[in-house]
Structure 1
Amino acid sequence: MSPDDPHRPQPGWWSVTLSDVGDALLGLVTTALGLGVAIAVVDGVSASNPGSVLLAALAVAVGDLVLRPPLRLLARVGGAMGALVAGLAAQVLVAWLALTLLPGLHVTNPWAVVQVLVIAAVVMAVGRWVWGASDSDYVVGDVLRRARAHARRAGEGGGAVPDERPPGLLVVQLDGVAAPVLAQAVDAGLAPTMARWVADGTHVVREWWAQAPSTTPASQAGLLHGAADAICSFRWWDREVGRLVVTNHPEDAALVERRLSDGRGLLADGGAAVATMFSGDAERQHLVMSQARRGIGPGTSYLRFFASPFVLARAVTLTVGEMVKELYQGRRQRVRDVRPRVPRRGWYVVLRGVTNVLLRDLATSVVAEQLVRGAPVVFVDLVDYDEIAHHAGPTRPESMRALEGLDRVLDTLVRVAAAAPRDYRVVVLSDHGQSLGATFEQVAGRPLVDVVRGHMAGPGVDAVQASTDDEEWGPLNAFLSSTAARRGDERSRVLGPQGRDRRDGRDGDAPGPGADGAVSPDVAVAGSGNLGMVWFPRAGRRLVLEEVEERWPGLVRGLAGTPGIGLVVVDTAARGLAAVGPGGVAWLERTGGGPAIDGVDPVARYGGQAADDLRRLGRLDHVGDLVVLSDVSADGHVHAFEGQVGSHGGLGGAQNRAVLLHPADLALDDDLLADVEGRRMPVGADRVHEQLLRWATGLGLRRTATRRAADDEAEAAGEPLAGGLAAGGPAAGGPAARGPVAGEPAAGERAP
């Protein structure tokens, strides 16, 4: 937010503490109500009068404050899981003391204390939801109160937020949101926060082109590291390690980051990464997939989430509610015979609840902590919309409603940023969009691996297929792997299809012929949305068309002619990359002479940018011997090679039209823009990364080469660093250099 943002609280606002008092009273009332209901229904606990219940509620609130300092110490030692255990134990202890020591209350069964705590917490969550306090403000309520108090102490005279605060940059990724979908949400009144920014002129909404592979791993490799070319798909056969690599597996994400990181990512120089796939070389890393084996960050960052009875119970209660809502919405699609659709049962129901409520609230709380602590650049990925849209469809009602929840998260974070020690500019972007369509298996009658095997004229062909139902397991598996890291266990905890399908138990960076030394399969097939890839691992290198035809005559033509497939990209010895369609061939590189198109151009239906994207994709490392794109209809419908009705990964429809909503005073540099179908926009995540870097550097949030050299010399000589960042950043002793909020770990502290 800029200083002249009309929605930024004006000086003097923070000196009024009625909101703090009101929130405290609301908390006291809901706690008393929860305890009263719990005492009434639990055997073994009784109260002689309402005053005793109110006194117990007050004791719980006081006990929570008294135990915070020792809990912080325990959280520092025990990390995030230590914070969870300590927080739950503290809740039980406070409730037990209140129910056994206060007059008018009687407990005959120790187990009844736990029952009272659980029931009271649920009643509190429901009560505050009825009151209207269901947004994320209450997830970070304690952070907001501390931020307000800190701002009052930092203000001059009247206790207002200081007018001269060093800048900061908050980047919020709305996973999978296409620019047209956001426009629909704004028109429908589902995104009032973002709509207000644009209407008031503080922000400008633009598009950027998410190149194929239009997947989260590729886009985040570009956005965070400027290295999108390091990733050819969501899943691929890696000839170096001799197996399929799945980027949302913590071990594989770590392997990929080691390849693409140069130490100077977007979040270097003190930035914070929250709930991302890669770290961006952040100093503060929380819920980062590639770093899961090192833990999910300092326990103190999670303490207030885990230790608060209301916050944790609210998250758990709404998680269960989200599961019930998914069951209802899935049944509604079946009853109404909505088409296209996919099954929405099984583990996805649980994963939707955990990912879209519990982990989102946790991520929101951690981001708020980083803002209050003054991290110069903060990047967070919110996956709610993407998870639902995969199974429901990009513009179905439940998917659009997910955007409403994300917009409330943005509003909450802006409120926190208004009291932070930095003047944060907020950039909202997506990593790609999604396209609607029936699955390939629904169209062709069988999965891609069976089609490939059939055209290889050998039913006994040894084939391995990457699981197509593992994407939603990623955040949960990252969290589980981090808990193993706290015990010194270096193995990732992998649930779901990817856990069953992993072909070896090695760490993932030692080359080998295959699973446990076994011979590699004849063919490996993987799908990423409507982008499919086929490898022939036993060849040891990428085959060209002439070699493929010699070994499996008719394979490429057969694939290109299969219903639901639009084209097959293959390298040729004679003329370079070719896109083979059912009625013609497009020569993408035009080497060796001859016409650019033979017959009907199979690329034209994917848009004017498609040929450039396919040329680039066809030359990436680890790319398949054959690259397959599903067909695309005139209205942009595609066919995912996964069990998804909303998909992304290839080309066609809105999946490549990503969002870039940025402050109006941070302009896009024209040299980073290109023409895409008559519009100027950044093409590729690497260009967006470069723009974010330029903004961060212009705001003084990145060390210059001269400053880095000076700091390196000082460190080598054992001298203190100069402090602060590049020109315009916080100087030593300035507002952002006063240290963290009392009781917080020092900047850069990580879980072991």
Structure 2
Amino acid sequence: MHNGRWRGAGRALLRVIVVWAVSTLTMLALAALLPDFRLQSPDGDSVTRTALTAAWGAGVFGLLTALVWPLIVRALLLVPAFVLGLLVFFLNGSLLLLALRLTPDGRGGAAPETAVVVAAVMSAVASATSTALAVRDDDAYRRRLSRLATRRRRRTGDRTTGRDHPGMVFLQLDGVGHEVLLRAAKDGLMPTVAGWLADGHRLVPWRTDWSSQTGSSQLGILHGSNHDVPAFRWYEKDTGRLMVSNRPASAIELQRRAIERTGDGGLLTLDGASRGNLFSGGADQVALVLTVSTRRGRANRSRAGYFAYFSDPANAVRTAGSFVAEVCREIGQSTRARLRGTGPRVPRGGLYPLIRAFATVVSRDVVVAAVLGDMLAGRSAVYADLVAYDEVAHHSGPHSTDAAQVLASLDRSLALIAQVAEHAPRAYRIVLLSDHGQSPGETFESAYGLDIKDLVRAGCGLPVSRRAERTRSGAEARAAAGDALRGALHRRATGGEPPPPATGPGGEPVVLASGNLALVSFPDVPTRLSREEIDARHPTLLATLAAHPGIGFLLVRSERHGSVVLGPGGAEVPVGELTDDGPLAVFGKGAADAVRRADTFPHVADIMINSRYDPETGEVHAFERQIGSHGGLGGEQAQPFLLAPGELSAPVADGGELVGAERVHRVLRRWLRECGPQVPVPDATHAGPS
């Protein structure tokens, strides 16, 4: 026992000496290459003296990064992550300048901009050397895992149970559709996924609800209920509140409602970890989770993921460097697309390069590091969302070269997670899934010259932008509204009823877009308006919308027939009689059930609008500025996937279909029970219908 400890201590000391020596040599090489970086006094020094100065500087820099850097990162946790990423270089350079000031007789010195470069190179070299040595020393690697697990147990209490049984890691590839994943594996973009498929993993598609977006799908997957989530954003008449799925206040309320409806805390309530998600899933361990992001104090551990990752300066430098490279890559790709006239296209300037870099670099690195830590600590269940593909596909297209590069990068992250799982203190079964796909297509505004808000306003006879007035759609809608108003005035002159106001006393209609799904609400009426009431207010609105070539169908409530679906050519079908034929035929199997379910939601909008879908091209028209979109029905957006090891039970019986996020939740719960029969994973027995 004692001999083993001495051998371990000796190896650790040897690694420190080797890293110090390599850092010293790196510093000497940089001093020879960079004119503004010196390790000698102005009068010159001997080679030995210069080497001693380099060794001193490298040693002091190493100590400062080990002792001071974590304190700096903790102090900056409230700084936005992409700002922290840009500060990393300058903070690291400041530590190097301080180390040089502490060299004997002031022999070390560097210009501030040079110090940034030297610090970045030295951190990267030291990290690579240390990692290489640790990988070759299996005992050291095991000790590191043991120390990490022990520290986590001390901080949180030892809640890990059933380590004789496998744990589960659920990795969500945000926005990656079933067909996209299959193509990427077949074309060699995702060799890790291809290897899993070859090893007997089971890949099945599943069908989203009408609201095919992360807020609805992930809420259903993690908490067992996405009831009353009609879109990504919607207006609630009873509270006067605008709900947006990725706003903290809205996410907190949605999670509260789901827990209240199911009577259960979520998928991850027992020894779980939630990483990079909108919702916690009931996990005790959280990082980058929206529903806890507004908490302050020790109770908020969402930002702890940043600290755990950036407290290693090598991680910070590597991620910051990748962040800058990704910003440059996006600027180059968008410029090339603009010069080549590639279409369809959306604006990609402003803050978007920074937002993309955060999603594809910072968020990915922090989430992956957190997942690795969870596995090394032996957590029973981990659910993590990797958002990189979804962000890029919105602006570059789901089948673009830009998006393909992101898929390849994500596959490397999957490979790393799979490798680390082999060293974890328990076996892990890794399940890959997505929350929705994306459908390509030109935006509604680009195709028809006006956005959905202007079209609704024109149909109501309200003022629209001058550009919209000049479009054919805008002119036709305005003319129809004018004809209807003149007809009403004529009826009044002949003794009929006076014309209704163009808008109610509460103001104008609220028009909200969620991908290729749009919602229209009239806030001055506290209940859901009927078709008859809408026609009385705005006689041409519904006809204008239903007849527009960019719109697939509408859902409205009728006083005579119940809710009805209105389609092109005057099609009108009561929801109770709705089938997958008729006005919904092009949207595929299950469209009628999805619309019928949404119609039962308390906060469904007065008018629900789904854009046109072309089954030959697979294209939709997003009501937002996105050439890869999701949110409604039509194409690949509604066809995510579930990829699981073959030893887990089949998600559905042969010939069956996996429909709805709530049903996916039940499948994942079943798999958790299969992995650890002695761990009582509760059933979501009170969940609403899926």
Superposition TM-score tier, normalisation by shorter sequence: 0.7 to 0.9
CA 90–631 in structure 1, closer or farther in 2 if over 3 Å, else same? closer
Shift of 1:118: 2.1
Tell me the SS of whatever aligns to 2:555.
Answer: strand
1:700 counterpart = 2:686: no
Q: Are the equivalent residues in 1 in contact too, given 2:53–2:108 (CA < 8 A)?
A: no
CA 374–213 in structure 1, closer or farther in 2 if over 3 Å, else same? same
Aligned to 1:349: 353
Q: Are the equivalent residues in 2 in contact too, given 1:584–1:602 (CA < 8 A)?
A: no
Aligned to 2:642: 660
> How far apart, CA to CA, are the structure 2 residues paired with 1:239 and 1:340?
36
Q: Are the equivalent residues in 2 in contact too, given 1:39–1:46 (CA < 8 A)?
A: no
Shift of 1:94: 6.1
> How far apart, CA to CA, are the structure 2 residues paired with 1:355 and 1:24?
37
Tell me the SS of whatever aligns to 2:564.
Answer: strand
1:556 counterpart = 2:537: no
Aligned to 1:545: 531
Tell me the SS of whatever aligns to 1:335.
Answer: helix
Which residue of the other structure, out of 627, 632, 638, is the alignment partner of 1:645? 627
CA 685–27 in structure 1, closer or farther in 2 if over 3 Å, else same? farther
Q: Are the equivalent residues in 2 in contact too, given 1:394–1:435 (CA < 8 A)?
A: yes
User: What are the Cα deviations for residues 318-353 of structure 1, in whole angstroms up to 9, with x where unaligned?
Assistant: 111111111111122222222222122111111111
1:149 counterpart = 2:143: yes
Shift of 1:630: 0.8
Aligned to 1:570: 556
Tell me the SS of whatever aligns to 1:176.
Answer: coil
CA 26–351 in structure 1, closer or farther in 2 if over 3 Å, else same? farther
Tell me the SS of whatever aligns to 1:550.
Answer: helix
Q: Are the equivalent residues in 2 in contact too, given 1:682–1:688 (CA < 8 A)?
A: yes
1:521 counterpart = 2:522: no
Question: Larger Cα Rg: Structure 1 or Structure 2?
Answer: 2
User: What are the Cα deviations for residues 266-312 of structure 1, in whole angstroms up to 9, with x where unaligned?
Assistant: 11012111110011111111111121111562776544522323211
Shift of 1:586: 4.8
> How far apart, CA to CA, are the structure 1 residues paired with 2:506 and 2:141?
57
Aligned to 1:122: 120
Shift of 1:210: 1.5
1:205 counterpart = 2:191: no
Q: Pick the structure with more helix per residue.
A: 2
User: What are the Cα deviations for residues 600-639 of structure 1, in whole angstroms up to 9, with x where unaligned?
Assistant: 9221011122111111122223111111111111221000
User: What are the Cα deviations for residues 94-131 of structure 1, in whole angstroms up to 9, with x where unaligned?
Assistant: 6456424456972468xx5x6555212433588799x9
> How far apart, CA to CA, are the structure 1 residues paired with 2:417 and 2:314?
19
Which residue of the other structure, out of 446, 450, 453, is the alignment partner of 2:454? 450
Shift of 1:520: 4.2
User: What are the Cα deviations for residues 648-676 of structure 1, in whole angstroms up to 9, with x where unaligned?
Assistant: 011111111101111111122436x8xxx
> How far apart, CA to CA, are the structure 2 residues paired with 1:402 and 1:387?
10
CA 76–307 in structure 1, closer or farther in 2 if over 3 Å, else same? closer
Structure 2: which amino acid aligns with 1:694?
Answer: R
Q: Are the equivalent residues in 1 in contact too, given 2:163–2:378 (CA < 8 A)?
A: no
Tell me the SS of whatever aligns to 1:655.
Answer: helix
Alpha carbon RMSD of aligned pairs, Å? Answer: 4.1
Structure 2: which amino acid aligns with 1:691?
Answer: V
1:431 counterpart = 2:412: no
Aligned to 2:159: none
Q: Give percent identity, aligned residues only.
A: 35
1:386-465 equivalence runs, <5 A: 386-459=390-463
Aligned to 2:242: 244
Q: Are the equivalent residues in 2 in contact too, given 1:429–1:658 (CA < 8 A)?
A: yes
1:590 counterpart = 2:576: yes
1:45-84 equivalence runs, <5 A: 45-47=38-40, 49-50=50-51, 52-54=53-55, 56-61=57-62, 64-65=65-66, 71=70
Shift of 1:356: 1.2
Structure 2: which amino acid aligns with 1:208?
Answer: W
Tell me the SS of whatever aligns to 2:619.
Answer: coil
Q: Are the equivalent residues in 1 in contact too, given 2:93–2:119 (CA < 8 A)?
A: no
Tell me the SS of whatever aligns to 1:538.
Answer: coil
Which residue of the other structure, out of 612, 618, 627, is the alignment partner of 1:636? 618
> How far apart, CA to CA, are the structure 1 residues paired with 2:212 and 2:391?
15
Shift of 1:459: 2.4
Tell me the SS of whatever aligns to 2:356.
Answer: helix
Between Structure 1 and Structure 2, how many residues are aligned? 606
CA 618–20 in structure 1, closer or farther in 2 if over 3 Å, else same? farther
Query: What's the TM-score once normalised by structure 1's chain length?
Result: 0.72
Shift of 1:644: 0.2
> How far apart, CA to CA, are the structure 2 residues paired with 1:283 and 1:146?
29
CA 304–626 in structure 1, closer or farther in 2 if over 3 Å, else same? closer
Shift of 1:551: 1.5
Aligned to 1:191: 190
Q: Are the equivalent residues in 1 in contact too, given 2:305–2:366 (CA < 8 A)?
A: no
CA 536–313 in structure 1, closer or farther in 2 if over 3 Å, else same? same
Structure 1: which amino acid aligns with 2:460?
Answer: M
Which is worse superposed, 359-368 or 323-332? 359-368
1:275 counterpart = 2:279: no
Shift of 1:361: 1.1
Structure 1: which amino acid aligns with 2:270?
Answer: D
Structure 1: which amino acid aligns with 2:529?
Answer: L
Aligned to 1:606: 587
> How far apart, CA to CA, are the structure 2 residues paired with 1:343 and 1:81?
27
Q: Are the equivalent residues in 2 in contact too, given 1:583–1:602 (CA < 8 A)?
A: no
CA 311–695 in structure 1, closer or farther in 2 if over 3 Å, else same? same
> How far apart, CA to CA, are the structure 2 residues paired with 1:310 and 1:76?
16
1:309-348 equivalence runs, <5 A: 309-348=313-352
1:683 counterpart = 2:659: yes
Gaps in structure 2 of 5+ consecutive residues: 1-7, 150-161, 466-503, 684-690
Which is worse superposed, 343-352 or 164-173? 164-173
Shift of 1:235: 0.5
> How far apart, CA to CA, are the structure 1 residues paired with 2:372 and 2:189?
23
Aligned to 1:467: none
> How far apart, CA to CA, are the structure 1 residues paired with 2:574 and 2:313?
60
Q: Are the equivalent residues in 2 in contact too, given 1:34–1:119 (CA < 8 A)?
A: no
Shift of 1:416: 2.2
Shift of 1:246: 1.3
Q: Are the equivalent residues in 2 in contact too, given 1:578–1:586 (CA < 8 A)?
A: yes
